[in-house]
Structure 1
C-alpha cells in the first residue's frame, strides 16, 4: 500500500482534480452542459457525455504524467531540498517514475484522440508543453510562468474541443488560466528560500486582473451576471488572505500556503467560468470538485 501511495504522490492527486475542473469548465463554455441536460437519452449513453468522460480521462493522464516528469527531472535537486519525496527517498526508482509519467501522457493523448483529431492534437501540445516546462521552462524567470500557464490554457481548450467549432469563438478564454497559473508559478519561486517580495506583489496584481476579467466576462457573456458574484467572493476569499500573509512575512511556509491556495482555487475559477456560460447550476457541479481536492490535499502534497 505504501508503494502505491508513493506512486500516487508523484501525480499530485489534489492537483489532478483541478485539471478535471478545467475540462468541465471548457465543456460548459462550449455548450456541452446544455446539450446533456436537453438530451433525452440515458446519460451514460449520450455521445456528448462519453466525450466528456474521455476528455476527463485525458486530463488525468496529461496532468499526472506532467507532474511526475517534474519529479524525475528534479530528482537530484529534491535529494538536497526535499528528500522526503518519493524518488529521493527511494520509495520509487527514477526509471519507474519516468515510465509511469510517459505512459500517463500517452494515455492522455490517446483518450483525447478518441473524441476527435483536434482534441488529440491539443492533448499532444499540452503534453509537449508539460515536458518542456519540467525539463527547461521552470528554470526560466519569464518564459517559465508563461509555459506553465499555456499548459492550463490548453487544458481548458481541451474541454472546449468536445465541440471543435466552438474553439474559434472561445479560444481567448485560455488567457484567463494562462495569467492565473503564471501568477501562481511566479509566487512559487520563493517556496523553498522565501524573500521574493517582487514576485509576490506581481502575483497579487495578476490576481486582481483575473478578478476584473471574470467580472467583464460575466457582464458581456453571462445571461445573468449576478450569478457569478458568490463564486467571485469565494474565489477572492481563497486566494488573497494567504497571499497577503506571504507578502508580509516572505517566509517559505506562508508562500507555500499561498501557492496551495492558488492551485486549489483553480476549481473556483473554473466554476465561475462555467456559471457564466452554463448557469449557476453547472457552476455548482464544477464546484463539487473543491471539497474532493481539499480532502486529497490533506493526504498528498500539492506542490
Structure 2
C-alpha cells in the first residue's frame, strides 16, 4: 500500500501519489536545465551553494502547478474530474497551503544558493507564475506571461550577470510560448493551421539556438529536438483532435530539455547530459499516462 498523509481540509487520508500528481512531479525535470543554461552563459558555474539553484527552480515550478490546479478546480470538475482536487483526493484548502509551502521552500532555497540576487530572481518568478495562474492564463497575454516565467528561470541561474543570458532566456521563452499556444486547444481540438504555426515557431527556436552557438556543437541537441517535437507536431497537423494535440503538448514539454541542451553546447558534457534526459523523458511521455503542464 502507498504512503498516506492526512488532508487537513477534509480529514481524510490521502495517498502521497495524489500530491505528486497535483505537483506534476516528473515535469519538473524540464526546468532543471534553465538555471544550468543561465549559469553557462553568464560564466557563473553551478558549483558550491549555487548547485541548489535547480532545486529552487523545481520547487517554484511545483508550487505553480499546484496553484494552477487550485485556480482551475471548477473547470477541472467538468473537463478533468480525475485531477486530485475535483476528485476529492486533496481539498482546495490543503492545495493552496501546499502551494504556499512550496513557494516558501523555493524562495528560501534560492536565497541560500544565490543570496540576494537569488531571492530577487525567485521573487520575480513567483510573481510571474501567480500572474499566469490567477489572471493571465485565459487571456491573449497568457502565452507571453508563461514565457516570462521560463525567461526569468534562466535569469535565476545567471545571477548578477543576467545580461549575458538574455539570448538563451529568450529562446527558451519562445519555445514555452509555442507549447502554451498549442496547449490551449488540447481539450477542444483545433484547425490544422495551429500545429503549422507552432511548427514554424519551433523551427525558429531551433534556428535561434543554433545561430547563438559557434560552429555545429549544438547539432546533436538539435537532432534530439527535431526527433522529440517534430513527429508530434506532424501528427497534430494531420489530425488536430484533442487527443492528438495533448500528445503533441506532452512531446513539446519533453523537448524543452533538448532546447536547453542546444543552448548548453558551450559546455559539451552538460549538453550531452541534457540530451540523454530529453530522450528519456520523451520516451516516457509517449506512454498513455499524461505529463501535463497547463
TM more than 0.5: yes
Q: How far apart are 1:284 and its partner, in Å?
A: 1.3
Give the TM-score normalised by the residue count of structure 2. 0.89
Q: Is 1:120 aligned to 2:122, yes or no?
A: no
Q: 1:27, 1:52 within 8 Å by CA — same for their partners in 2? A: no
Distance 1:287 1:82, change over 3 A: same
Tell me how large the CA RMSD over aligned residues is: 1.8
Q: 1:263 matched to which residue of 2? A: 253
Structure 1 counterpart of 2:271:
283
Give, in angstroms, the shift of residue 296 of structure 1: 6.5
SS at match of 1:190: coil
Q: Which one is further off, 63-72 or 128-137?
A: 128-137
Give the structure 2 partner of residue 42 of structure 1: none
Shift in CA distance, 196/145, structure 1 to aligned 2, threshold 3 Å: farther
Deviation string, structure 1 residues 206-264 (Cα, Å, up to 9, x no partner): 1111111012112xxx3xx2221111011111111111111121101110111001101
CA distance in 2, matches of 1:5, 1:300: 15
Q: Label 1:289 to 1:234 Cα distance change in 2 as closer, same or farther (>3 A).
A: closer
2:218 alignment partner, SS class: helix
Give SS of 2:90's match.
coil
With a CA cutoff of 8 Å and minimum separation of 6, indicate the structure with the bigger relative contact order: 1
Q: Under a length normalisation based on structure 1, what TM-score does the superposition of the two structures give?
A: 0.86
Between Structure 1 and Structure 2, which shows a larger proportion of helix residues? 1
- Could you say if the C-alpha distance between residues 75 and 201 of structure 1 is closer, same or farther in structure 2, counting changes exceeding 3 Å? same
Aligned to 2:11: none
Which residue in 1 is equivalent to 2:171?
Answer: 176
**2:8 equivalent in structure 1:** none
> Are the aligned partners of 1:183 and 1:206 in contact in 2 as well (CA < 8 Å)?
yes
1:24 is aligned to 2:36? yes
Q: Which runs of 5+ in 1 are unaligned?
A: 37-47
| Change in 2 beyond 3 A, CA 1:295/1:111 | farther
* Cα distance, 1:146 vs structure 2: 0.2
